[in-house]
Amino acid sequence: MPATVGRRMDRLAPVRRATRGVDRRTAVRAGVIATVAYAAWLAIGAFGRPYNFFDMKIYHGAVVWWANGNELYEFIAPSTTLGFTYPPFGALVMLPMALVPVEVAGWLNALASIGALALVLAGLLRPIVDRLGWPLWYTVGIATPMAIAIEPGRETLGYGQVNLLLFALIMADLIGLRWRARRGTRFDDAVGPLRRFVFSGAWAGVGIGLATAVKLTPALFVAYLVITRQWRAAATAVGTTIGVTLAGFALVGAESRAYFGGVLWQTERVGAADMTPNQSLAGLLARLYDSIETPGLLWLSFSVLVLALGLSRAVSARADGDELTAFTLVGLTANVVSPISWSHHLVWVIPAVIVLADAALRRREASRGVAQRPGQASSYGGLPGVNGLRPPIWYPTLTGLRHGVAAVGLYLLFLISPIWPYEHQLPEVSHYQDGLFGALMENSLAVALIVLVAALPWRPGAEPAFYADRFGRAASAVRGS
């Protein structure tokens, strides 16, 4: 018996050597990440829909059709009325897919999208975890599957869409602006001209330009850059868009003329406005009017109002040193005012949840300093600590509660996605078939977007991304706060 036990212990020696450098806390954190990933997988199965790379099959079929010498925009997917709707530059980017089967293309797109999302979350969460002292890898490991599980994430991956990749391009410019704001600090010590160029942020605007060349709606970010006088980034974005578009004319002139001369204006190619997954303002109004088409004048009037509100609040957020919230507001506004915003387009709820959660944490942290000596006034929002009274002992716990509840509620709404149990299609079934509650549920994501544009809070001084040459005084003030 002792000899047998000794042999078994000898077999465990390689395992002990392999795990010697892994402490218990790291192992627990890895287990938590695995548990969250499994829970996200179960949530996708419970709240998602059957996915079979439906959109990817259209893209793949179109580029294969095109590679075989046919006209790109004449392609119609079998058993559908749908064809290729992206600009020619998008077709050129997707053309290598013609070399692999559609399932391979779908999984490659999913892996690239997940990797891009993880990188974006690392960039967005870095200032927060640095302030709180959390490990970045652990936070991103939890946040990534949680983001994939909600409606925009799972629909993008399941349908083989490119929304997360475009989202990453735009958010890369946010990181570039952040790095550019830190010129003259640690990034000047970067070794090599390439690293210095990357960390200088001088390239900020390229991502928005490329995203606009693929899907047009990111052009609203160019307008935001112009309004906030970020001239270099705006010029870079416009130059990138024009450059790749002209390159498209040079390489595939016939397709470029066909797209900009006709396909761009054929909105019926993508589906009817009242379809349930269209969670834009136009879709909301069409369903409220129980009509296949959106009431044009009403939509235009409300779109102008939402556009003005969203951009003005984004400018204010940036002026207070919160560029992340500013970008989020612009992205949400683009989702609202676009004629078609399918549920997989709504990726901007991901940073919105982050902003709300961080706002709750920041307010709770700030409230801990409110419990001062009797008679000492509070420095946080003019709340307790006045008239010589000590604030209640529960005050730090409840401070930020409404933002925390909003973050959890927003996440759960997009996790459960209650639009699908109440999906209706005219003329067969009215959008009021299930009463007012059913109509509310069918439009719930659109309503949430509009509320976010109107009420998403920003965090003064949280993540300034000012240009040092033009806004140096403001940037220095924020960094010193």
Going residue by residue through the chain, which has 481 residues, state the pLDDT in tens, using 9 for 90 and above.
555 555 555 555 555 554 555 678 889 999 999 999 999 999 999 999 988 899 999 999 999 999 998 898 888 888 878 888 888 888 899 999 999 999 999 999 999 999 999 999 999 998 888 888 889 999 999 999 999 999 999 999 999 999 999 999 999 999 888 887 776 455 555 567 777 777 777 888 999 999 999 988 899 999 999 999 999 999 999 999 999 999 989 988 888 888 888 777 776 667 788 999 999 999 999 999 999 999 999 999 999 999 999 999 999 999 998 999 999 999 999 999 999 999 999 999 999 999 999 998 888 777 665 544 444 444 444 444 545 555 555 555 566 788 899 999 999 999 999 999 999 888 889 999 999 999 999 999 999 999 999 999 998 887 665 444 344 444 444 443 3
Phi-psi map region of 400: left, alpha, beta (phi>0 left; psi -120 to 50 alpha) = left
Three-class SS state of 481: coil
- How confident is the model at residue 17, as a pLDDT? 53
- How confident is the model at residue 165, as a pLDDT? 96
Three-class SS state of 342: strand
- How confident is the model at residue 468, as a pLDDT? 40
Secondary structure of 373-394 in HEC code, one letter for each residue:
CCCCCCCCCCCCCCCCCCCCCC
- Whether a cis peptide bond, with omega within 30° of 0, leads into 14 is no
Closest to 168 in 3D by CA, of 109, 92, 225, 227:
109
Give the whole-angstrom CA distance, residue 238 versus residue 381: 41
Q: Is the dihedral of CA 30, 32, 38, 44 positive or negative?
A: negative
Residue 439 near residue 445, CB atoms below 8 Å = no
For 10, counting Cβ atoms within 10 Å of its Cβ (0-12 exposed, 13-18 middle, 19+ buried), the class is exposed
- Whether a cis peptide bond, with omega within 30° of 0, leads into 339 is no
The residue assigned the tokens 């990726």 is: 347
- How confident is the model at residue 476, as a pLDDT? 41
- How confident is the model at residue 475, as a pLDDT? 41
Give the whole-angstrom CA distance, residue 227 versus residue 433: 44
- How confident is the model at residue 10, as a pLDDT? 58
